[in-house]
Amino acid sequence: MNEDTIAEIKSAVREAIDKLQPKLMDLSERIHRNPEIKFEEYKASQWLSEVAEEAGFRVEKPIGGLETAFRASYSGSGEGPTVAFLAEYDALPKLGHACGHNLIGTASLGAALGLREVMDRLPGSVQVIGTPGEEGGGGKVILAEAGVFDDVDVTMMFHPSRKTVLWKHALARRKLLIEFFGKSAHAASFPEKGINALDATIQTFQNINALRQHIKDDARIHGIITHGGDAPNIVPDYSASLFYVRARDDDYCDELLEKVKNCARGASIATGARVEMEMQGAYKSLRTNMPLAQTFKANLEALGWDFDDVDPTKEIGSTDMGDVSDVTAAIHPYLSIGPKDLVGHSPEFAEAAASERGQQAMIAAAKALATTAVDVLLRPSLFTEL
Ligand SMILES: [Zn+2]
């Protein structure tokens, strides 16, 4: 297919999304007004999958063992790659849509609906996959383990942010519960009879602080004490803490996790409190597919958007998109929805996620995602020649 035809297909996609604009904005606003926290996104998943079904997509719901996950598929004119746009739609407790997932869900739906208009001219197929529970639920990890992405070649989504950023690292993350079991006794009358579980937790923090000097720059270890005793006059017989161990590299993250466990084991020996540890979830590091990212860049710039100059190693967290990027070619770019000092997970961010600027970012993201998919479907080598 020549360049002129590709350009013509892309403009047809953008026009289709322009026509859908009122519908998408209404949907995004409705999801914003009805915030649902992780794995309780019944309305949002219903509304999004319903619109896809009306547009002729085949909807499977639920999928991957998650009640609020769905897949909507539409096939093109022949054999080709499968491109999936990932729709998040969970909100935060108390803060509502302070991470702007209402915009992610509608942008991904909009991209698929726009692409649908030209699928008779394209090979392969397009999907919207509803991925619930991003905020602390690791929904995509569960879906990846259930094989939901096995037949998907390329996955894309955008995330609202204070800046427009093509790609950033996201750290591998391990969540570790550490529990100590001691022996209670009167803290003043019979201290020699007690085994202090709280001391073991405090010692674990001290040991980790000693470790901290000798870890890689990109690694992070941070924890909280979730149980520290019941009363000052009782030697605590139980204590618990929760840690996140993060690093850019998955292998190093595991190595560090083992060292953190040794910190707890050492504290157990020192205090006599028995230790139990449980891994409560892991996120893989994010692997951005660079040719795909560069294609997205060109397609967003074609809409008049510019990218901020950002160090991809700075201000980074973790995301369950990491696990998806491990099994598909993936991108996870950011589009600005407010001022440069806007902070995620704040009331101001929730406001921005319902603002005119937020809505415009959602529409631009839908167009850039959909036109990037046009490039992928027509030139699959773009992402396979790596
Ligand atoms: Zn988010």
Strand ranges (E), 274-315 = 274-283
Distance 67 CA to ligand 1 centre (A): 20
Residue that has been written with the tokens 């440069």 in this structure: 340
Distance 270 CA to ligand 1 centre (A): 41
- Residue 293 is predicted with a pLDDT of 97
Distance 324 CA to ligand 1 centre (A): 15
- Residue 384 is predicted with a pLDDT of 65
Distance 373 CA to ligand 1 centre (A): 22
- Residue 386 is predicted with a pLDDT of 42
Distance 74 CA to ligand 1 centre (A): 27
- Residue 250 is predicted with a pLDDT of 96
- Residue 383 is predicted with a pLDDT of 75
- Residue 385 is predicted with a pLDDT of 55
Our measurement of the distance from residue 160's CA atom to the centroid of its chain's CA atoms, rounded to an integer in Å, reads 12
Residue 254 is which amino acid? D
Distance 101 CA to ligand 1 centre (A): 6
- Nearest CA to 205 among 270, 267, 258? 267
Distance 218 CA to ligand 1 centre (A): 21
Distance 150 CA to ligand 1 centre (A): 24
Distance 159 CA to ligand 1 centre (A): 7
Strand ranges (E), 100-207 = 125-130, 154-156, 159-161, 172-181
CA distances from 46 to 51, 53, 89, 222 (A): 9, 10, 11, 37
Q: Are strands 238-247 and 220-227 parallel, antiparallel or unpaired?
A: antiparallel
Show the low-confidence residues of the chain (pLDDT under 50).
Answer: 386
Strand ranges (E), the chain = 58-60, 70-75, 82-87, 125-130, 154-156, 159-161, 172-181, 220-227, 238-247, 274-283, 329-331, 334-336
Distance 327 CA to ligand 1 centre (A): 21
- Residue 288 is predicted with a pLDDT of 96
Structure tokens at 251: 């292998």
Distance 319 CA to ligand 1 centre (A): 8
- Residue 1 is predicted with a pLDDT of 81
Q: How far apart are the first and last CA of the chain?
A: 23
Distance 156 CA to ligand 1 centre (A): 14
- Residue 315 is predicted with a pLDDT of 85
* Half-sphere exposure at residue 236, Cβ-oriented, CA atoms within 13 angstroms: 22
Distance 88 CA to ligand 1 centre (A): 8
Strand ranges (E), 195-290 = 220-227, 238-247, 274-283
